[in-house]
Amino acid sequence: MKNIPRLHFAHLPTPIEELPRLSAHLGGPRLLVKRDDQTGLAFGGNKTRKLEFLVAEALEQGAKTLISGGALQSNHCRQTAAAAARFGLDCILVLNGEMPDKPSANLLLDQLFGAQIIAIPDRNERDRVLQETFDKAVADGRKPYLVPYGGSSPTGALGYAFAVEELMGQMKDLRVLKELGGLDYIVFGTSSGGTHAGLVLGQRVFGFKGKVLGISIDESEEWLKSRVSQLASEASEKLGERIRFAPADVAANADYCAAGYGVLTDAEREAVTLFAKYEGLLLDPVYTGRAAAGMIDLIRKGYFTKEETVLFWHTGGQPALFAEKYANKI
Ligand SMILES: Cc1ncc(COP(=O)(O)O)c(C=O)c1O
């Protein structure tokens, strides 16, 4: 395997915990959770693993500024701003949404980390403004590195390929996983595809025998299968040898995102409440709440047998619980 530039700031391995009370309540399979909400950078989340590779690449290229974009309450942007602060880089974020008078949650944290915010009301303008911002930073000599939306480039996806290696190590060592005889499913929320692509690649490279099932937060099944297979193929080259993934190699379920990105429905509300009430565990309203709602519905439909073991990969995002948009609405 090639030597790939990587920084080490994530708190790894993240713990794996059992969810016995939730599992009993749902009458479903054995449930475990992998706590990537505890990855340690600015309240944690899935972007930490990606940023270990992305920031290493930026520094290697001599970058002085990280530029990225997302929604106003983007977890990815919050963690990117934190990583920039940690490594002495400037950060510019292009965020779509109405700038509130009093920023809260992720947006408040972006400012605390010293990021420059460019807020644009129209999401359709985001690509253009992001490109203009990047071009201007180049012209101004600020040596920018463009962190892709969601950290989802082949480089970022590597974070989740190596997360599977970490999981395989835990499967050998953890009492609970030894007793259960392994995992049948990994379930998680998927959106820009980097987490998904990394898991699919890691599954192949490190020989994980279970299934990897992404619950879509906002994209169609077709788009995800195509995007994730392409990202996983490109990421594999960085490991030294191209593996050709096809859309059919990717399992994605887009049955739970009809309400649209960030729209809280009774399904997310129930999932957040059940995890809190039965396990004392916090999900977020946008990503893990929706992914868990999908998993709960699949359990109720008998998609998993009672004898199977399902690992819910918690990808973080809890600061959004305190965003003006969601507070008091859960
Ligand atoms: C908390 C959380 N979970 C899941 C995701 C989805 O990950 P990906 O963009 O790699 O598909 C995101 C993306 O922003 C996120 O913030």
* 330 residues of the chain, pLDDT tens digit each: 778 999 999 999 999 999 999 999 999 899 999 999 999 999 999 999 999 999 999 999 999 999 999 999 999 999 999 999 999 999 999 999 999 999 999 999 999 999 999 999 999 999 999 999 999 999 999 999 999 999 999 999 999 999 999 999 998 887 777 776 789 999 999 999 999 999 999 999 999 999 999 999 999 999 999 999 999 999 999 999 999 999 999 999 999 999 999 999 999 999 999 999 999 999 999 999 999 999 999 999 999 999 999 999 999 999 999 998 898 888
pLDDT of residue 175: 74
Decide: 212 and 203 in contact? Cβ < 8 Å.
Answer: yes
The residue to mutate among 76, 187, 318, having the most atoms of ligand 1 within 8 angstroms of its beta carbon, is 76
pLDDT of residue 2: 77
Does the Cβ of 192 fall within 6 Å of ligand 1?
yes
Q: Nearest Cα to 109, choosing from 315, 329, 320? A: 320
pLDDT of residue 69: 98
Does the Cβ of 45 fall within 6 Å of ligand 1?
yes
Does the Cβ of 190 fall within 6 Å of ligand 1?
yes
The three-state (H, E, C) secondary structure of the chain, written as one string: CCCCCCCCCCCCCCCEEECHHHHHHHCCCEEEEEEHHHCCCCCCCCHHHHHHHHHHHHHHCCCCEEEEEEECCCHHHHHHHHHHHHCCCEEEEEEECCCCCCCCHHHHHHHHCCCEEEEECCHHHHHHHHHHHHHHHHHCCCCEEECCHHHCCHHHHHHHHHHHHHHHHHHHHCHHHHHHCCCCEEEEEECCCHHHHHHHHHHHHHCCCCEEEEEECCCCHHHHHHHHHHHHHHHHHHHCCCCCCCHHHCEEECCCCCCCCCCCCHHHHHHHHHHHHHHCCCCCCCCHHHHHHHHHHHHHCCCCCCCCEEEEEECCCHHHHHCCCCCCCC
Does the Cβ of 193 fall within 6 Å of ligand 1?
yes
Q: Say how many Å lie between the CA of residue 253 and the centre of ligand 1.
A: 15
The residue to mutate among 191, 192, 223, having the most atoms of ligand 1 within 8 angstroms of its beta carbon, is 191
pLDDT of residue 293: 98
Q: Which CATH class is domain 16-45+153-322?
A: alpha beta
The residue to mutate among 46, 93, 95, 272, having the most atoms of ligand 1 within 8 angstroms of its beta carbon, is 46
pTM for the full predicted model: 0.98
pLDDT of residue 328: 82
Does the Cβ of 316 fall within 6 Å of ligand 1?
yes
Q: Say how many Å lie between the CA of residue 25 and the centre of ligand 1.
A: 27
Of the residues 23, 68, 74, 233, only one is catalytic, namely: 74
Q: Say how many Å lie between the CA of residue 45 and the centre of ligand 1.
A: 8
47-151, CATH topology level: Rossmann fold (3.40.50)
Q: Where are the domains of the chain?
A: 16-45+153-322, 47-151
Does the Cβ of 46 fall within 6 Å of ligand 1?
yes
Q: Which atom of ligand 1 is nearest to the CA of 75?
A: 16
Q: Say how many Å lie between the CA of residue 273 and the centre of ligand 1.
A: 20
pLDDT of residue 178: 72
User: Would you call 74 a catalytic residue per the annotation?
Assistant: yes
Q: Which atom of ligand 1 is nearest to the CA of 76?
A: 14
Q: Say how many Å lie between the CA of residue 140 and the centre of ligand 1.
A: 32
